[in-house]
């Protein structure tokens, strides 16, 4: 992995803009388990959309995340909750493409499929710091900079990003502070999104409150709350 990330650094120059190309449409991708979607996911998507001036952000639930336990709710339920959460939110969309792919979720494959569909847009993979810290454990992480930019957002309680090693070198080499790069290059840069309000909410906390019979109101959108309560979801200790 370290070697392949290093190799991808060498290709960075090729991905950088030259001349004055027409501004690209910019789409953010927020992957996750969304088990269930909560207010911090939605706030994160809106904040990054505004900070990076993205046209839209797609929230993309994973069928079977490779680096964690299987989700508690089915893909169908997680998607239904996500659609309810986004029903009247401008600029955020639910994207079910990963749920229909068999086997563990590989982000590079997802981005490749998206890239084939949308060859001329700028794609920006949004990651909380916890997800970014585990980047070097991802399958084919070295393919990602050729397919998308990365936006790294702060997350309460997340460990600091590594200072040494392949991920640290990758972040240093790819870091970009010029937001215009998102409109002039389709992929290849890492943006740090700071100074956005952080919310200390996790799906783990939502599930464990439900399992203890306690309220989850205001941690999740009202529509999501009502579906979870009415259908008795996440109500049993696993």
Query: Residues interacting with ligand ATP, by CB under 6 A?
Result: 30, 32-35, 40-41, 44, 127-128, 130-131, 153, 155, 198-199, 201-204
**CA 100 to CA 136: how far, in whole Å?**
25
> Is the separation of the CB atoms in 201 and 39 below 8 Å?
yes
Q: How far is the CB of 11 from ligand ATP (least distance, A)?
A: 25
Give whichever of 40 and 184 is closer to ligand ATP, judged by the CB atom: 40
CA distances from 87 to 11, 80, 149, 217 (A): 40, 10, 27, 18
Q: Which is nearer to ligand ATP, 189 or 203 (CB)?
A: 203
> By beta-carbon distance, which residue lies closest to ligand ATP?
128
- For residue 184, the minimal CB distance to ligand ATP (Å) is 25
Q: How far is CA 45 from CA 27, 157, 238, in A?
A: 11, 19, 29
- Looking at beta carbons only, is 5 or 82 nearer to ligand ATP? 82
Q: Can you tell me the distance from the alpha carbon of 64 to that of 135, in angstroms, rounded to the nearest whole number?
A: 17
Residue 161 beta carbon to ligand ATP: minimum distance, rounded to whole angstroms: 12
In the complex, least distance from residue 126 CB atom to ligand ATP, rounded to whole angstroms: 7
Nearer to ligand ATP, 65 or 184 (CB): 65
Least separation, in Å, of the C-beta of 36 and ligand ATP? Answer: 9
Helical pair 2-10 and 166-174, crossing angle rounded to 10 deg: 20
- The residue among 95 and 184 lying less far from ligand ATP, judged by its C-beta, is 95
């Amino acid at each position: 992995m370290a070697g392949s990330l290093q190799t991808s650094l060498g290709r960075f120059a090729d991905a950088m803009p030259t001349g004055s190309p027409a501004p690209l449409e910019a789409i953010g991708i927020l992957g996750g388990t969304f088990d269930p979607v909560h207010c911090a996911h939605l706030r994160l998507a809106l904040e990054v959309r505004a900070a990076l001036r993205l046209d839209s952000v797609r929230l993309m639930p994973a069928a079977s995340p490779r680096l964690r336990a299987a989700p508690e709710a089915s893909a169908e339920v997680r998607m239904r909750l996500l659609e309810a959460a986004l029903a009247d939110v401008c600029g955020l969309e639910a994207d079910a493409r990963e749920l229909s792919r068999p086997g563990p979720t590989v982000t590079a494959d997802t981005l490749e499929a998206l890239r084939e569909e949308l060859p001329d847009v700028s794609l920006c993979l949004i990651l909380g710091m916890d997800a970014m810290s585990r980047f070097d454990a991802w399958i084919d992480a070295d393919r990602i900079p050729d397919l998308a930019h990365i936006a790294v957002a702060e997350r309460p309680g997340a460990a600091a990003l590594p200072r040494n090693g392949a991920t640290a070198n990758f972040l240093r080499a790819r870091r970009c502070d010029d937001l215009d790069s998102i409109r002039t290059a389709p992929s290849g840069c890492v943006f740090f999104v700071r100074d956005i309000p952080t919310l200390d909410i996790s799906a783990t906390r939502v599930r464990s409150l439900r399992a203890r019979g306690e309220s989850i109101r205001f941690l999740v959108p009202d529509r999501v709350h009502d579906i979870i309560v009415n259908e008795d979801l996440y109500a049993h200790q696993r």
